[in-house]
Structure 1
C-alpha cells in the first residue's frame, strides 16, 4: 500500500459527462496501479444549481463504470465529511487564520463592484479597493451590520509548478486580482475550498482537466499562505468531437447515463475512455479494467487533445458483446428486451434456456444492446411479413425455379439427418451449392426469405 491519495471531485449541477468520467477513470487507474487510495468528494457549494438528483446520478454513473471509491459518500472515511456543504466551519477556520496572518482581508464592495472587479467572473483584475482596510476597522464595520466577503491577497511574484503531464508551467502572479475566498453569504469559492479539502484529505496528486490549469497558481498561493504541503498537479487534455471542437451534445450523447441507455457496456466504455489521452505500449486496444489497472501510467498520458469517435466506441462495444458468455450477454440484453415488450420479468426466468439459445444465435449480429430486441424479435413472432418491396426478396419470389429447388433440397437433407444440429445444416447448404450449381447467395436468400421474410 502506497501513500498516494487522489480524488475525483464533481459538482452536482448535472449528470456525469464524458470528460468528468475520463478524469475519474485516470485518477482511479493511477490509484489502483500504485496501490493508493481513490477518494470521491462532492463539491456542492453552488447552492443554486446543486441538486440531490445530480448527486444520485453521479453516484449511479460511477457505480455503473465500476469506479469504486475508497472514501467518500456512502463509504465514509477518516477524512470526511465528503460534501463541501458539511465542511463550512473548516473553511471559516482557515479563512480566519489568513485574516489574522494578513494573507486575506474583508471586502465591503457592493455586489456590482465585486462582479465588475472579480477576475473569477469577469476576467479583469480586482483593483484592491478594500486592501487597505485594517482588520480592526473591518471588524467594527461588521459589528455595525455591514456585509463583507473575504478576499485572498494574491502575491505579485511568478508562480511556477511542474505539471505531471505538461512539464514546467509558470504564471505571473501580478496578473491575478485578489480573489474572493468566502462570499458574503458565508459560502466558500471553488479555488479556496478545493485547497482546504485537498490538503486536509492528504491528497498527493491532483489530476484534472486542463481547463483548470489557470486555477492552479491561485491554489498554489493559498497552499503557501497557509503552510500546507503541496500536492503534485497534472492537467489532462480536453476531449474534442470529430470536427475538432469541444465535445458537446451536438456530437451525440455526452452523459455517462446516456451511453448506458444507448446500449453501451460499462467495460467497453471504460476501455474506450482509457484510450482517450493515454497510450498503452504497442498497438493493443482491448483491455479489461484489471489489465488497465496494471498497464496505466501517467508517463504515457498525452498533452494533445483526444478525439471522441462514436463509431470506434460502437465497434469496441461489439467486440465486448461477442466476448461475453451467453449468460452474461443475456443478463445485459434482458432489460432492453423487456423494455421492447418481447418478454416480461417472469417469462425471462421461466424461459431462460430458450432465451440463451436466441442470444447465442444473434450474438454476432449487433454492436449495441439496444439492437438486441430487433435482432431477437423474429423468434417471438409466429408469422412475419415478406418484404415484397425489397428487390432482393422480390427476385426470389418471382424466380420460383431457384427458390423451389433450394427449399426442396435443404428440406430433404434436414429430414434425412440422424440428428438435427447446426453443423449438419451448414453441410446441407454447402451440398446444395455444389449439387444444384447455385452460388452461395442463391442458396442463402431463398432460405432467408422463407424463414424470416
Structure 2
C-alpha cells in the first residue's frame, strides 16, 4: 500500500469492553502491525450521560493484557496515554460552526417534548422515526438562553455511495436519512461529528469497525465531503453470533474481556480465538502464534458472513495453550489463581508448588479452575482432609479387608529404601495381587486416604509430591478411622 497506514481503536466508556469491541481493536492492531503502520487509541467520552466509572481503566487494562500496545498519544506517567475527545471540544465546535457557515448544517431549537411527540405520532402512523426538519429553513436563530443543537443538512434526494474493503460498493438512499445531530445543546459533539474531525486530524487511513456502524457510514461520508476532508478507507467487520446464530449475549459468553482474564484464559489464547472470529488463514489452521497472525493478516481474508462465538472451542484452545506452557511458566501464571482459592498454598515454597501444579496442568482448561475448584489441589496444601471413614472402603470390600490393605500398604511404604514413583507402583501392585484385590480396589482406598477424595491426579505421582512423611501420616490417620469404624460395629 502506498498510503501510510494509520488506524485507531475508538471505544466509548459507556461500559466494559466486550468481545466484539475488542475484536475490532485487535483487527486494527493486526492491520497496523502487518503493514508497519500506527495504531492509536482514542476514548470517545463525549456522551457524559452514559459514562461508566471505571470503564476507561477496564478498556486500557484489556488492551494491555492482550499486548495491544498503541503507538502515540499524550505522554502520561512516562508512557503514551490515549487521546480523550472530551479534551478536544473546541475542535468539534469549530467544525460545526464551519458547516453552518458553509450551508451544510443549521441550528435546531426543537424541545425534547416536541421531539417525543413527533416520535409518538410517527409510531402511531407506522412511519419510520426521524426528525421532520422543522428548523431546517428557519432564519438565524437568536434569543437569550435559547438552547439549540446543530443538525446536518442531509440531501433530500440522490444516493451516497462508498467502497467497503470487505463488502465492496455500498449505496444508501439519502431520502431515508434524517438530519442528524452534530453538536448537542451542552456543546459536546455526537459520535458522528467528533470521529470525523479526529480521524481527519489524526490522519487515519483506514476505519476498521463493526458491521453495526455500516448504517452510519453514509452520514460520515457526507460529513467528510462537506468539511472538504478526504475520507479514509472503510472496512466493516462481520457480526459475531452465538452458536444458535442469534445475537451474541452473555449466555453465549459475551462478557467483558476483563472477565476472560479473571476466568483464567491466557492472552495468547484470546488473541488466537478472536482473530478467527471473522478472519482465517485457510480452511484448516486454527492454532497460530501472534507472529504468524501478524505476518499473514490481511483485510481481503476477512469474511462477509457472521462469525460464531463458540465457548467450547475457546475452552479447548485455552487447554492446548496451557499444556504448551513450560512448567515454570505455568507455575508463574497459575500461582495467583491457586493462592486466591487456597490461601495456605502461599506458605509453601515454589518447588513444592511447582511439583503439585505439574500434576494438574494436563487437566486444567482455565487457570480460574485452580481458584474456583480448590478440590483439584487443596490436599497438597492441608493435612485436614474432609472424608468419612466409610469413604475408605474399597469397591465390593468391607471394613476388615480394607483395614488390612491400608496397614500392609503403610508398612510397605515405610520400609521402602527409596520413596519413588516406580518403587511405589511395583510394590503396591504386587501387594494388590498378594491380597487378592484388584488394583483399583487397593488404589481407591489409598487415594481417599492420602487426598480425601475419590478423584485426584495419578496416585503415585501425588504421593511422591506429598513425600513419605506426609503420606504415611495420612495413612496412619486412615487406619485409625477404619479401626474406629470396626469398633463402632462391634467387630
Normalization by structure 1: what TM-score?
Answer: 0.86
Distance in 2, Cα, partners of 1:337 & 1:18: 26
Map of 1:246-265 to 2, 5 A cutoff?
246-252=247-253, 254-265=255-266
* 2:173 counterpart residue number: 172
Distance in 2, Cα, partners of 1:344 & 1:432: 34
Distance in 1, Cα, partners of 2:390 & 2:249: 40
1:57-90, Cα deviation, whole Å (9 max, x unpaired): 111111112211112466699x998111111100
Given the alignment of the two structures, is residue 5 of structure 1 paired with residue 6 of structure 2, yes or no?
A: yes
1:165-206, Cα deviation, whole Å (9 max, x unpaired): 222211011211111101122111111111111111111111
8 Å contact from structure 1 (residues 342, 380) kept in 2 = no
8 Å contact from structure 2 (residues 210, 239) kept in 1 = yes
Given the alignment of the two structures, is residue 330 of structure 1 paired with residue 331 of structure 2, yes or no?
A: yes
Give the C-alpha shift of residue 379 in structure 1. 0.4
Given the alignment of the two structures, is residue 357 of structure 1 paired with residue 326 of structure 2, yes or no?
A: no
Distance in 1, Cα, partners of 2:205 & 2:448: 64
* Residue 129 (structure 1) aligned to one of 126, 134, 151: 134
1:106-131, Cα deviation, whole Å (9 max, x unpaired): 1222223345669xx99523222222
Map of 1:405-444 to 2, 5 A cutoff?
408=408, 412=412, 416=416, 419-425=418-424, 441-442=440-441, 444=443
- The unaligned stretches of length 5 or more in structure 2 are 453-491
Deviates more, 1:258-267 or 1:426-435: 426-435
* 2:150 counterpart residue number: 150
Quickly say closer, same or farther: Cα 1:221–1:435, change in 2 above 3 A: farther
* 2:476 counterpart residue number: none
1:326-359, Cα deviation, whole Å (9 max, x unpaired): 22222222222222243375x36xx112111111
Deviates more, 1:203-212 or 1:233-242: 233-242
Give the C-alpha shift of residue 22 in structure 1. 1.0
Distance in 2, Cα, partners of 1:162 & 1:434: 77
Q: Which has the larger radius of gyration?
A: 2
Distance in 1, Cα, partners of 2:31 & 2:62: 19
* 2:365 counterpart residue number: 367
Distance in 2, Cα, partners of 1:80 & 1:322: 35
* 1:63 counterpart residue number: 64
* 1:99 counterpart residue number: 100
8 Å contact from structure 2 (residues 92, 197) kept in 1 = yes
Distance in 2, Cα, partners of 1:60 & 1:38: 16
Quickly say closer, same or farther: Cα 1:116–1:187, change in 2 above 3 A: farther
8 Å contact from structure 1 (residues 393, 449) kept in 2 = no
Count of residue correspondences: 441
CA root-mean-square deviation:
3.3
Distance in 1, Cα, partners of 2:69 & 2:301: 23
* 1:111 counterpart residue number: 112
State the secondary structure of the residue aligned to 1:39: strand
1:273-323, Cα deviation, whole Å (9 max, x unpaired): 111111222522222222222232222211222222222212211112111
Quickly say closer, same or farther: Cα 1:389–1:266, change in 2 above 3 A: farther
Distance in 2, Cα, partners of 1:24 & 1:400: 66
- The unaligned stretches of length 5 or more in structure 1 are none
Quickly say closer, same or farther: Cα 1:291–1:387, change in 2 above 3 A: farther
8 Å contact from structure 1 (residues 403, 446) kept in 2 = no
8 Å contact from structure 1 (residues 39, 71) kept in 2 = yes
8 Å contact from structure 2 (residues 252, 310) kept in 1 = no
Distance in 2, Cα, partners of 1:221 & 1:45: 21
* 1:452 counterpart residue number: 451
Distance in 2, Cα, partners of 1:161 & 1:427: 75
Quickly say closer, same or farther: Cα 1:116–1:222, change in 2 above 3 A: farther
State the secondary structure of the residue aligned to 2:172: strand
* 2:219 counterpart residue number: 218
Deviates more, 1:311-320 or 1:196-205: 311-320
8 Å contact from structure 1 (residues 263, 368) kept in 2 = yes
